[in-house]
Amino acid sequence: MVDTKPLLPASNSDGSYLTGSRVNILKPIKVYLTIFCGLLAIGLFAALLIGNYWSDNARIHGSLATSTSKRTHPLRPVSRGPAQGVSEKTSGIWAGVSRGPTQGVSEKTNRVRAGVPWNILPEPWNSTMLEWQRTAFHFQPEKNWMNGPLFYNGWYHFFYQYNPKGAVWGDIVWGHAVSKDLINWFHLPLAMVADQWYDKNGVWTGSATILPDGKIVMLYTGSTTEAVQVQNLAFPANHSDPFLIDWVKYHGNPVLVPPPGIYKKDFRDPTTAWLTSEGKWRITIGSKRDKTGISLVYDTKDFINYEMLEGELHAVSGTGMWECVDFFPVSKTEEKGLDTSINGPEVKHVVKVSLDDDRHDYYALGTYHEKNGSWIPDLPEIDVGIGIRYDYGIFYASKTFYDQNKNRRVLWGWIGEGDSEAADMEKGWASLQSIPRTILFDNNTGTNLLQWPVEEIESLRLNSTEFEKVEVKAGSVVPLDVGPGSQLDIIAEFEMDKEALKKATGSNITFSCQTGGGAAKSGALGPFGILVLADESLSEQTPVYFYIAKDSDGDLKTFFCTDLSRSSKAPDVDKQIFGSYVPVLKDENLSLRVLVDHSIVESFAQGGRTVITSRIYPTEAIDGASRVFLFNNATETCVIASVKIWQMDSAFIRPYSDDDDKDDDDRKSSAPCLLLCPINYIVSCVTCLYFIYLVSKLS
């Protein structure tokens, strides 16, 4: 009920109004105002202390080094800790999991490293070392085991495979997180759980399609109670909800089952749908026949009823099961991404597959023929599964999405662990996501895609240090004074001695990163590059480097590698040498970018033509003991290096709360009142004193 006389004083029990003197009425008001202002001041002062506490604790890995240039940035809490988890694959709405021969078992269950069983945590691990491994600006769930997002109503949504019960594979459901910038994330409640007969054994990989009317449909693979892989339909319960919290599974699921001739466990991972010229929606699903990897093609008008096309989108013999197939266009003329339905003469189409047999992601460029739903590679010798990989390190089950917010295509991949399962159990988490990468066609080579970290990652850059034209002589190591080396963004360019390139003797021996002896093996023109996650004595180090090979005909070929052989003193971790050939065109200097985030190192050569992602588990080169060096192990050439290194802030990743300010700037601040509290405190105190003054004047 509305109070019709809200400003009248209170009445006595007999209905007459109180009439005391003005002084007697105002004295209690003065007292109340004084008490109120005092409490307000105390509260604001406490908020100021709390804000400073959180900002101080956001830097648990040591102070930043003095640098040549500085920029201010809101401090963020480090989303880290021993009980923070992960899962096997994340996907943009691509959140399902596909299983291979060890279905239902952690990928590391039977792995033995250096004679150390998977379930025994050996020396020298301790809690400090294990806690250091949790990343600061890569997406991870809060805890446990995890395995592209889409942009909708102002938010990026990421759905990922997640085991809420432990740091190993199993009990797979869909986790859900949202972001305004693909870097800072809020965890939301689980999006879908395994609660129906058609997905009882797991809610696996799926893809979202945004329809012309703005609505979303989701197709995902479910594993039935009989372990049959089927395709199911789901959609948001409320499209007006920007967070897409609740999802409804179609009552008539499954909408697709394995067709004749396809094994029940070889039918999974539907793609985002694209429109044909006839107005139908088209999808492709990964499978195999014997050892031939294939992608089946279906048309639909309503996402409920489907027509299977004859033949396949593509097939490659000997490649085995195709998981997480992705199909999308890239522009040959513009540096921007394209919606999945775009086609025409200025477009090439990419087919990407995740090979279940070797757990790597391969892609190829080619021509799409809409009429019969087929795709032909430009170069059969580098066809899907036998040619170019997205990433030559640990990177799997990737998925792209078209970001209509910024007209770009974005790639995300799942990064598994390279340590033992015993370590995962002790940490309470396993695996994470790569930094989202933009995808573009490389017009300079005509054969490659370019991958590059999304521009938003640069918002985390703090102090930078530059080193201009540093001479790195043959056989030398040069320290770079940048402070702690656990969270870095590094850009480097190397100029070669052209005379040395001409004089070097050629060889008929074929070089490869894996068999070339690593960074310690000297050659005429390499290796040279940068050492990250290294301790002062170099007893632990991870070289990221180039190696130039010259054949007997005098032709040069450049390789980009990462050597983990001395990355850790622990016996239960992977210590492989990763890498591959990288195209280098005439008059190009060699360039690289390296993102270091504790136990993950992402390296990009020549603008992203070749990429390597590594998991590193040092025991000594952690926290303040981690250093950066330039090195040159070539015998016949020196190199000139120009390097710029930024210390990196931590991303803001935590559960969403209804109390969170909807303002995006406030979302990115670890302590929203950090800058405002001192001002508000002073203003509030002055305001209170002014009111007391006015009341005293009235009295």
Mind listing the pLDDT tens digit for each residue in 523-559?
A: 999 999 999 999 999 999 999 999 999 888 889 999 9
Which residues make Cβ contacts (< 8 Å) with residue 281, sequence separation at least 6?
209, 273, 274, 275, 299, 300, 301, 303
Q: What residues form DSSP beta bridges with 274?
A: 282
Let me know: does 303 contact 231? Beta carbons within 8 Å. Answer: no
Instruction: Quickly count: other Cβ atoms within 10 Å of residue 259's Cβ.
Output: 12
Please give the Cα distance from 569 to 227 (Å, whole number).
Answer: 42
Written as six digits, the tokens of 589 are 């200097």
Residue the block writes with tokens 């290096």: 641
Q: How confident is the model over 338-356, as a mean pLDDT?
A: 97
pLDDT of residue 699: 47
Spacing of C-alpha 111 from chain mean position: 26
Q: What is the C-alpha to C-alpha distance for residues 639 and 657, in angstroms, rounded to an integer?
A: 52
Q: Which domains does the chain have, with CATH numbers?
A: 139-453 (2.115.10.20), 456-648 (2.60.120.560), 658-691 (no CATH)
pLDDT at 140: 86
Q: Examine the pLDDT at 384 and tell me if it is beyond 50.
A: yes
Q: What is the pLDDT of residue 691?
A: 53
| Mean pLDDT (whole number) for 299-318 | 97
Cα→Cα distances 472→12, 249, 467, 529, 593, Å: 92, 61, 12, 10, 18
Q: 242, exposed or middle or buried, with CB in 10 Å at 0-12, 13-18, 19+?
A: middle
- For residue 182, how many C-alpha atoms fall within 13 Å in the half-sphere facing its CB? 27
| d(C-alpha 654, C-alpha 1), whole Å | 42
Tell me, what DSSP letter sits at residue 345?
A: T
Q: How confident is the model at residue 233 (pLDDT cuts 50, 70, 90)?
A: very high
Q: pLDDT class for 111, splitting at 50, 70, 90?
A: very low
Report the alpha-carbon distance of residue 489 to residue 232 in Å, rounded: 41
> Percent helix, strand and coil across the chain, each rounded to 5?
15, 35, 50
Q: Which amino acid, one-letter code, is at 697?
A: K
Which range among 37-51, 341-355, 567-581 shows the weakest confidence by mean pLDDT? 37-51
pLDDT of residue 403: 97
CB 429 within 8 A of CB 85: yes
Residue 372 in tokens: 């019969």
C-alpha torsion sign, points 537, 542, 544, 548: positive
Q: Which residues pair with 421 in a beta bridge?
A: none
Residue 657 pLDDT class (50, 70, 90 cuts): confident
Q: Please choose, from the candidates 397, 402, 362, 486, the residue with its C-alpha nearest in 3D space to the C-alpha of residue 146.
A: 397
In sign, the C-alpha dihedral spanning 180, 186, 188, 192 is positive
Q: How far apart are CA 106 and CA 97, in angstroms?
A: 12
Mean pLDDT of the chain: 82
Asked if 602 contacts 412 with a C-beta cutoff of 8 angstroms, the reply is no
User: What are all long-range contacts of 209-217, with beta carbons under 8 Å and residues at least 24 apart?
Assistant: 209/272, 209/273, 209/281, 209/303, 210/150, 210/152, 214/239, 215/239, 216/150, 216/152, 216/244, 217/273, 217/303
| Residue 450: closest CA among 335, 318, 315 | 335
The confidence score (pLDDT) of residue 629 equals 98
Give residue 429's pLDDT.
87
Identity (one letter) of the amino acid at 201? N
Q: Say if residue 243's pLDDT is above 70.
A: yes
**Residue 117 scores a pLDDT above 60:** yes
| pLDDT per residue as tens digits for the range 485-514 | 999 999 999 999 888 888 888 887 889 999
Q: What is the pLDDT of residue 185?
A: 96
What is the 3-class SS of 389-450, one letter each residue?
ECCCCCCEEEEEEEECCCCEEEEEEEECCCCCHHHHHHHCEECEECCCEEEEECCCCCCCEE
> What phi and psi values does residue 206 have, to the nearest 5 degrees?
-145, 175
Phi, psi angles (nearest 5°) of residue 623:
50, -130
Calpha distance 585→588 (Å, rounded): 6
The CA-based angle 145-146-151, given to 5 degrees, is: 155
Nearest of 147, 140, 263, 127 to residue 206 by alpha carbon? 147
pLDDT at 416 over 70: yes
Mean pLDDT check: name the lowest of 89-93, 139-143, 454-458: 89-93
Q: How much is the pLDDT for 161? A: 84
Q: How confident is the model at residue 668 (pLDDT cuts 50, 70, 90)?
A: very low
Report whether pLDDT(326) > 80: yes
Whether 293 contacts 309, CB under 8 Å: no
Which pLDDT score, from 0 to 100, does residue 684 have? 52
Matching residue, tokens 């594993």: 223
Q: Which of 68, 21, 178, 163 is nearest to 462 (CA)?
A: 68
Instruction: Tell me the pLDDT tens digit for each residue of 188-202.
Output: 999 999 999 999 999
Cβ contact 366:387 at 8 Å? no
| C-alpha distance from residue 349 to each of 354, 583, 662 (Å) | 17, 21, 39
| pLDDT higher at 460 or 656 | 460
Question: pLDDT at position 580, please?
Answer: 98
Over range 228-235, report the average pLDDT.
Answer: 98
CB-based contacts of 168, cutoff 8 Å, min separation 6: 106, 109, 145, 421, 424, 425, 430
Q: Residue 420: which of 34, 95, 112 has the closest Cα?
A: 112
Give the confidence band of 517 by pLDDT, cuts at 50, 70, 90. very high
Closest listed residue to residue 111, CA positions, set 293, 319, 359, 320:
359
The beta strands (E) that lie in 273-383 are given as: 274-275, 281-289, 292-300, 306-308, 314-316, 322-331, 347-355, 360-369, 374-377
pLDDT-based confidence at residue 163 (cuts at 50, 70, 90): confident
List the structure tokens of 257. 């089952």
- Collapsing DSSP to helix, strand or coil, 502 comes out as helix
Q: How confident is the model at residue 106, as a pLDDT?
A: 38
What separation in angstroms does the CA of 68 have from each of 97, 271, 419, 465? 46, 47, 37, 5
